[in-house]
Amino acid sequence: MKKHNNVTVLDHPLICHKIAILRDEKTSTKQFRELVEEITTLVTYEAFKDVPTQEVEVKTPLVTCKQRMIPENSIAVVPVLRAGLGMVAGVHTLFPTAKVGHIGMYRDEETLQPREYYCKLPDGIENMRVIVLDPMLATGGSACAAIEQLKARGCRDIHQMSIIAAPEGIDKLAEAHPDVKIFVAVVDEKLNENGYILPGLGDAGDRLFGTK
């Protein structure tokens, strides 16, 4: 992986521990779902570090004071279907009022090119901080296509949040969209000849939804 100043790799012991269990082929669908949610919550804490806040007045039982809060309607998460869906609850654990948009995308198995099949975004998303959710950043094709779609809809403040990334995917996304901050829990070794991340965890969608 090249050096990029828009990329944050969390590499935290708690996250590494949970990812080790996530990767294990013996981990059940139920536990896999729970781990994706928990890891997402931990990454969310870091990714929200620079979220804009505004001053509000709060009346305590004693006095009125000025506090800072995240404004209403200022954050949207956009899971890339299917696997991104597994991350939504992890963000909502910390910030339950985040709006949710959906982009449906699958990789053509031959060409590995992303194909979009669904897009439904919240009204006013162009004025929000938008966080794209996808546990796997492999070639980076799906993330780039989702971000291009969001930019075409007028979004200008976009973050990408993933759990496992391949160096190839990070390089592609960071170079194509230097304005997008990328948060990943861990960076793996490489892609195999079929575009799967090694060591990776296999097909995230299938493991989350028990489809194989």
Which position among 93, 97, 111, 211 bears the catalytic label?
A: 111
Q: Which amino acid makes up residue 126? A: E
Stretch that binds ligand URA, among 117-125, 149-157, 179-187, 201-209 (CB under 6 A): 201-209
- When asked if residue 203 is in the footprint of ligand URA (CB under 6 A), the reply is yes
Residue from 22, 136, 155, 187 binding ligand URA (CB under 6 A): 136
Smaller CB distance to ligand URA: residue 42 or 204?
204
Q: Is 203 a catalytic residue?
A: yes
Other beta carbons less than 10 A from residue 190's beta carbon: 11
- Binding-residue pattern over the window 39 to 78 for ligand URA, x denoting contact by CB under 6 A: ----------------------------------------
Q: Which amino acid makes up residue 183? A: F
Q: DSSP secondary structure string, 130-185?
A: EEEE-SEESSSHHHHHHHHHHHHTT---EEEEEEEE-HHHHHHHHHH-TTSEEEEE
The whole-angstrom separation of Cα 184 and Cα 177 is 16
The whole-angstrom separation of Cα 15 and Cα 159 is 20
Residue from 22, 155, 204, 208 binding ligand URA (CB under 6 A): 204
Other beta carbons less than 10 A from residue 206's beta carbon: 14
Which position among 27, 41, 107, 171 bears the catalytic label?
A: 107
Q: Is 11 a catalytic residue?
A: no
Smaller CB distance to ligand PRP: residue 139 or 149?
139
- When asked if residue 87 is in the footprint of ligand URA (CB under 6 A), the reply is no
**From the list ligand URA, ligand PRP, none, which binds 169 (C-beta under 5 to 8 Å, kind-based)?**
ligand PRP
Give contact residues for ligand PRP (rule: CB under 6 A): 80-83, 105-107, 112, 114, 134, 136-143, 169, 195, 203-205
- When asked if residue 165 is in the footprint of ligand URA (CB under 6 A), the reply is no
Q: Is 206 a catalytic residue?
A: yes
Smaller CB distance to ligand URA: residue 121 or 138?
138
Alpha helices in 58-133 (DSSP H): 85-94
The whole-angstrom separation of Cα 16 and Cα 135 is 14
Beta carbons of 185 and 163 less than 8 angstroms apart = yes
Which position among 27, 33, 171, 206 bears the catalytic label?
A: 206
On the question of a cis peptide bond just before residue 82, with omega within 30 degrees of 0, the verdict is yes
Residues with a known catalytic role: 107, 111, 203, 206
